[in-house]
Structure 1
Amino acid sequence: MILTVTLNASVDKSYVVDHLDPYKVMRVKEVNNTAGGKGLNVSRVAALAGEPVTAMGFIGGHNGRLFESLIFVRGIEKRFTHINAETRCCINVRDLATNKSTEFLEPGSLVTEDDLAAFLHDFETQLPLSRIVTISGSMPKGVPADFYGLLVELARRAGKPVLLDSSGEALRAALSAYPTFIKPNADEICQLLGKTVSSRQEVIAAARQLHDGGVDTVAVSLGRDGVLVVSGEGVYRGITPNVPVVNTVGCGDSMVAGFAVGLARGMALPERIRYAVAISTANALTQETGSFRGEDLEALLPQIQVERLSAFA
């Protein structure tokens, strides 16, 4: 079972408009509500891939009840910690004229010390039942900066690999707990290391620094250009084929899910990269966030190129 953690869950509202014109009344053509937060995207994609998932995090209030009702993908067990604060909403507005999106992300309500204690109890209860842990996204107000580090440490003590996808201080504080896998982009690496990286070699050197600091696998997301992966097995590049992109929201989360599924199935690193890039690309072919069609994944897998750039990281 893959255990997914989404502390800052949200009800995600997707609006489609013909043309986004700021400061005017906009008529929405389409509305789609989903159970959101980066970890929920991971949950859906892993479950659609056929892996059992237990989803955890904080939810509360009327939005929390709506949130749980929106989780209907088979294979996801809901083990959320219920709190008094209202679950947040986030809005993504897609402009059909430009095929670009504008996002409005609420910060999340305050989480109390009692809420944190309840979640830790729930988390430690589920750990023995899991094979892999994924931790994704931001943290709501009231959660200490080192909380992800604590979760990583608890999982590692239980012998569970941890895939962490976050940014800023939450990611920085967790590095000392040695997550198994992280997925920063180039900008996030700059923030972590306090240096500018632009060329491929600079990105690899920065990822190598993080790997040498104790992270087993560092996957640097390159968007349309795929992913660079640095691990003890070497440096690899997964290359995304040219496809007609429909929606890029959730592609990074889908990649994390792909790596988690590949790890759960014992895939060798190159095949894990191939699978993760294919499932991320398949997400881009759908309007839904954190989703893919099985036929798209099967068609994409043989198209994904995985290059070994050097024998040792």
Structure 2
Amino acid sequence: MILTITLNVALDKYYKVPSLVNGEVNRVEKVIPTAGGKGLNVARVVNELESTVTATGIVGGHTGNLICEMLDAEGLTYDFFKVPLESRTCINIVDSSRNSTEILEAGERIDPDLVTEFLNKVTDLICLADIVTLSGSAMKGMPEDIYYHLISIVKEQNKQVILDTSGNLFAKGILAAPTLIKPNRQEIEQMIQIKNASIEEIISFCEEYITLGVKKVVVSLGAEGALLITGNGVWKGEPPKINTVNTVGSGDSMVGALAVGLSKDYTDEILLRYSIAVSAANTLTESTGQINREDVSKLYEKVTITKLS
């Protein structure tokens, strides 16, 4: 079983507008609500890929109840820790030129005692899992080293764990040496303070994570594909040219594919090819974290893999 952990669950709303004009009334043509937060997007994709998954995290209030109702309607298995707070709402506005503008609520502050109770609950769920994914931001009030603690719990049980976050959460979580990390190009450039960093510069920086004990580093490069850096070599994968509809959730889709690939013990090259195909398939749908398996199959054959070292 794959367990996805979302520390900052959200109700995601996709707004389609003819154009987005600052300071004026903008009328929405289409609304697509989704039970969101990065880990739920991961869970949805894992489920679409026909692997067993359970989503956990923290929800609360009327929004939290709505999120549970939406997951029930999708048939997605979840086991949340419920708190007396209101879950957040996040908005993605897409215009006719397919420009995407995201408005993300931070969410309410959680009490430290509730965080401790949540960690106890998650420890029990990890016992049932083979692969654990940790995705996205944390609720206000959570310690910056919470991912470090979660990774340590997973490793104590000899399970594999994927970390996909940023900032201090990433910096502190990486010290626990997760199995796989998935930063994107922009996050790496911020860390090395080089704008438009070359592939060589990105690889050189990421190889340091391998020396820290991380087994695999996957760097998503947007439309350019992704890099996979391991102790056995470096690969670059490129998807075919496609007409994207909505890019939000493509990184989460990649994490879902990576979790499935690890659970099936895919080789490095197949793991990279598969994750790029799934990520690209997500961009062909309007809904966040949604894929079509037929799209994945078609794209998989067209992904180009090059071994760089």
TM-score, normalised via structure 2 length: 0.97
* 2:65 equivalent in structure 1: 65
Q: Supply the distance in 1 between the matched residues of 2:124 and 2:103 (Cα, whole angstroms).
A: 34
* 2:234 equivalent in structure 1: 235
Please give the secondary structure, in 2, of the residue aligned with 1:276.
helix
Deviations 1:171-201 (A, max 9, x none): 0001110011111123322444556671111
One-letter code aligned to 1:126 = L
Q: Supply the distance in 1 between the matched residues of 2:193 and 2:23 (Cα, whole angstroms).
A: 37
Please give the secondary structure, in 1, of the residue aligned with 2:243.
coil
Q: Supply the distance in 2 between the matched residues of 1:232 and 1:201 (Cα, whole angstroms).
A: 16
Instruction: Please say which of residues 196-205 and 58-67 is displaced more in the overlay.
Output: 196-205
* 1:147 equivalent in structure 2: 146
Q: How many residues are paired up?
A: 308
Please give the secondary structure, in 1, of the residue aligned with 2:107.
coil
Q: Supply the distance in 2 between the matched residues of 1:244 and 1:197 (Cα, whole angstroms).
A: 24
Please give the secondary structure, in 2, of the residue aligned with 1:89.
strand
* 2:169 equivalent in structure 1: 170
* 2:85 equivalent in structure 1: 85
Please give the secondary structure, in 1, of the residue aligned with 2:228.
strand
One-letter code aligned to 1:64 = G
Please give the secondary structure, in 2, of the residue aligned with 1:116.
helix
Unaligned runs of 5+ in 2: none
Q: Supply the distance in 1 between the matched residues of 2:276 and 2:171 (Cα, whole angstroms).
A: 25
Q: Supply the distance in 2 between the matched residues of 1:292 and 1:186 (Cα, whole angstroms).
A: 23
Are 1:47 and 1:73, in contact at CA under 8 Å, matched by a contact in 2?
A: no
Q: CA RMSD in A?
A: 1.2
Q: Supply the distance in 2 between the matched residues of 1:73 and 1:264 (Cα, whole angstroms).
A: 23
Deviations 1:103-143 (A, max 9, x none): 11000111111211121111111111100000000011000
Q: Supply the distance in 1 between the matched residues of 2:47 and 2:203 (Cα, whole angstroms).
A: 32
Q: Supply the distance in 2 between the matched residues of 1:222 and 1:178 (Cα, whole angstroms).
A: 23
Q: Supply the distance in 1 between the matched residues of 2:196 and 2:150 (Cα, whole angstroms).
A: 30
Structure 1 residue ranges, 4+ long, deviating more than 6 angstroms after superposition: none
Please give the secondary structure, in 2, of the residue aligned with 1:59.
strand
Q: Supply the distance in 2 between the matched residues of 1:208 and 1:159 (Cα, whole angstroms).
A: 24
One-letter code aligned to 1:86 = E
Q: Supply the distance in 1 between the matched residues of 2:145 and 2:195 (Cα, whole angstroms).
A: 25
How far is 1:224 from its partner? 0.4
Deviations 1:182-233 (A, max 9, x none): 1112332244455667111111101111221221111111100000110012
Are 1:172 and 1:192, in contact at CA under 8 Å, matched by a contact in 2?
A: no
Unaligned runs of 5+ in 1: none
* 1:35 equivalent in structure 2: 35
Establish whether residue 277 from structure 1 lines up as the match of residue 276 from structure 2.
Answer: yes
Are 1:229 and 1:236, in contact at CA under 8 Å, matched by a contact in 2?
A: yes
Deviations 1:209-263 (A, max 9, x none): 1221221111111100000110012101111110111111100110111111011
Q: Supply the distance in 1 between the matched residues of 2:190 and 2:87 (Cα, whole angstroms).
A: 29
Please give the secondary structure, in 2, of the residue aligned with 1:78.
coil
Q: Supply the distance in 1 between the matched residues of 2:261 and 2:285 (Cα, whole angstroms).
A: 22
Are 2:14 and 2:287, in contact at CA under 8 Å, matched by a contact in 1?
A: no
* 1:123 equivalent in structure 2: 122
Deviations 1:71-118 (A, max 9, x none): 1333x321110001100001111111x210111100011111121112
Pairing 1:260-275 to 2, within 5 Å after superposition: 260-275=259-274
Please give the secondary structure, in 2, of the residue aligned with 1:77.
coil
One-letter code aligned to 2:104 = L
TM-score, normalised via structure 1 length: 0.96
* 1:297 equivalent in structure 2: 296
Pairing 1:243-254 to 2, within 5 Å after superposition: 243-254=242-253
One-letter code aligned to 1:188 = E
* 1:136 equivalent in structure 2: 135
Q: Supply the distance in 2 between the matched residues of 1:258 and 1:25 (Cα, whole angstroms).
A: 39
Are 2:132 and 2:159, in contact at CA under 8 Å, matched by a contact in 1?
A: yes
Please give the secondary structure, in 1, of the residue aligned with 2:47.
helix
Q: 1:54 to 1:110 in 2, by over 3 A?
A: same
Identity %: 41
* 2:22 equivalent in structure 1: 22
Q: Supply the distance in 2 between the matched residues of 1:87 and 1:282 (Cα, whole angstroms).
A: 29
Q: Supply the distance in 2 between the matched residues of 1:60 and 1:80 (Cα, whole angstroms).
A: 9
Please give the secondary structure, in 1, of the residue aligned with 2:127.
helix
